[in-house]
Amino acid sequence: MVFDHEERRNAITLEMWEAIPRVARELDEDANVRVVVLRGAGDTAFVSGADISEFERTRMGAMAIEYERTNQRAFEAITAISKPVLAMVHGFCVGGGTALALCADLRYAAADARFGVPAAKLGLGYAVRGIEKLVGVVGPAVALEIFFTGRQFDAREALERRLVNEVVEKSRLEAVVREQAESIAANAPLTLRSVKTIVNQLGRAPDQRDPAGMEESIRACFDSVDYEEGVKAFLQKRKPEFRGR
């Protein structure tokens, strides 16, 4: 999924926010897709935030509430992708960019990446789910500092704060992410889906979890052709060929 608005450092327009759920759904439903990678077009940014030049038209007064709902639909659509989602972050990853990166399961950053959430510098209210996601990744104290200061911080600090999984030189970023994606894609899709389902459920309050759904995802693995293939491949000392069924 490429965020392509290079003339504004890949700032997300309303039209782009609206398109994200459709693209996410298409990628999730495509059986040929095993791993989804989020990235920004060009060389300058992952996503530099929402396109502020549209705010007077799309994010003022009553329109602001609908804009936030559109944002949330986009974030939820990426989070709902049942396959592993990787964010490949270079350059600016600010505001809505940080929020989009947080929707990924794994985040890899180039050494030039810059993160930040400047909501307090604009005076806008930030969605509960977005704050909850950040708190879940970096903890309450760090999340408060990020929001309170609104400052940008570099990739090294993002790694120290567990916001990203790895930092690499910019020239190596695409190769590293591709290698990781290919490695993940070679594994059993139903197992990956089950683990992602369970991890997401465990992130919820105990009374909001779906124990039956988690157990069903585990049973689906054991009932699959892929499980038989995995066992046979191990015994025959060869690489398995998983089909996702």
Tell me what the mean pLDDT of segment 149-178 comes to.
97
Percent of the chain with pLDDT over 70: 100
**Three-state secondary structure call for residue 55:** helix
Q: What is the pLDDT of residues 198-219, one digit of tens each?
A: 999 998 889 999 999 999 999 9
| Cβ-Cβ contacts under 8 Å for 219 (sequence gap 6 or more) | none
Instruction: Report pLDDT for 56.
Output: 74
**Three-state secondary structure call for residue 188:** coil
pLDDT at 196 over 90: yes
pLDDT band at 27; cut points 50, 70, 90:
very high
pTM of the model: 0.93
| Domain boundaries, given as residue ranges, for the chain | 2-184, 188-235
Q: What is the CATH number of domain 2-184?
A: 3.90.226.10
| Residue 92 vs residues 19, 152, 156, 202: alpha-carbon distances, Å | 21, 9, 14, 31
